[in-house]
Amino acid sequence: MKNNWWKESVVYQIYPQSFMDSNGDGIGDFNGIIRKLDYLQNLGVDVLWICPMYASPLVDNGYDISDYYKVNPIFGTNEDMEHLIEEAQKRNIKIILDLVVNHCSDQHEWFQKAMKDPNCEEASYFYFRTTENDKEPNNWRSNFGGSVWSRLPDGRWYYHTFAKEQPDLNWYCPELRDKIYEMINWWLEKGVAGFRIDAIINIQKDTTFPDYPADGPDGLCSADTVVSRASGIGEILEDLKVHTFQKYDVFTVGEVFNMKEEELQEFIGEHGHFSTMFDFSQHLLTAGEHGWYEQRPFCFEAWRDALFTAQEKAASVGFLSNIIENHDEPRGASTFLPGYAQNDDGVKMLATASLLLRGVPFIYQGQEIGMRNFKARSIEEFDDLNTKDQYELALRMGCTEQEALTCCNRMSRDNARRPMQWNAEDNAGFTTGTPWLKVNPDYTKINVQVQESDPDSVLNYYRKLTALRKDPRYVQTFTYGRFVPVRERIPEQ
Ligand code: TEU
Ligand code: CA
How many residues in total does the chain contain? 493
The response to whether residue 160 sits with its C-beta less than 6 Å from ligand 1 reads no
**Active-site pick, 165, 255, 329, 414:** 255
- Convert 272-308 to b/e letters by CB count within 10 Å (16 or more is b): bbbbbbbbbbbbebbeeeebbbebeebeeeebbbbbb
The response to whether residue 198 sits with its C-beta less than 6 Å from ligand 1 reads yes
Position 490 scores a pLDDT of 60
Position 492 scores a pLDDT of 62
Position 130 scores a pLDDT of 97
Candidate of 143, 383, 408 to mutate for ligand 1, largest count of ligand atoms within 8 Å of Cβ = 143
Question: Using CA positions, which residue lies closest to atom 16 of ligand 1?
Answer: 328
Position 489 scores a pLDDT of 61
Task: Give the integer Cα–Cα distance in Å for 389 and 223.
Answer: 16
Position 471 scores a pLDDT of 97
The response to whether residue 108 sits with its C-beta less than 6 Å from ligand 1 reads no
Per-residue pLDDT of the chain (493 residues; tens, 9 = 90+): 788 999 999 999 999 999 999 999 999 999 999 999 999 999 999 999 999 999 999 999 999 999 999 999 999 999 999 999 999 999 999 999 999 999 999 999 999 999 999 999 999 999 999 999 999 999 999 999 899 999 999 999 999 999 999 999 999 999 999 999 999 999 999 999 999 999 999 999 999 999 999 999 999 999 999 999 999 999 999 999 999 999 999 999 999 998 888 899 999 999 999 999 999 999 999 989 899 999 999 999 999 999 999 999 999 999 999 999 999 999 999 999 989 999 999 999 999 999 999 999 999 999 999 999 999 999 999 999 999 999 999 999 999 999 999 999 999 999 999 999 999 999 999 999 999 999 999 999 999 999 999 999 999 999 999 999 999 999 999 999 999 988 766 666 5
Residue 255 annotated to the active site: yes
The response to whether residue 63 sits with its C-beta less than 6 Å from ligand 1 reads yes
Q: pLDDT, tens digit, for every residue of 475-484? A: 999 999 999 9
**Active-site pick, 80, 98, 198, 414:** 198
The response to whether residue 100 sits with its C-beta less than 6 Å from ligand 1 reads yes
Written as one string, the DSSP assignment of 49-98 is EEPP-EE---TTTTSS-SEEEEE-TTT--HHHHHHHHHHHHHTT-EEEEE
> How far is ligand 1, taken at its centre, from the CA of residue 100, in Å?
11
Position 366 scores a pLDDT of 99
Q: Are 139 and 90 in contact (CB under 8 A)?
A: no
The residues pairing with 252 across neighbouring beta strands, listed in sequence order, are 195
The residues pairing with 320 across neighbouring beta strands, listed in sequence order, are 277
Q: Which ligand is nearest to the CA of 166?
A: 1
Q: Are 447 and 425 in contact (CB under 8 A)?
A: no
Q: What is the largest CA-CA distance in the chain?
A: 69
Task: Give the integer Cα–Cα distance in Å for 72 and 356.
Answer: 36
The residues pairing with 363 across neighbouring beta strands, listed in sequence order, are 12
Full-model pTM: 0.97
Q: Are 221 and 140 in contact (CB under 8 A)?
A: yes
Candidate of 63, 286, 373, 382 to mutate for ligand 1, largest count of ligand atoms within 8 Å of Cβ = 63
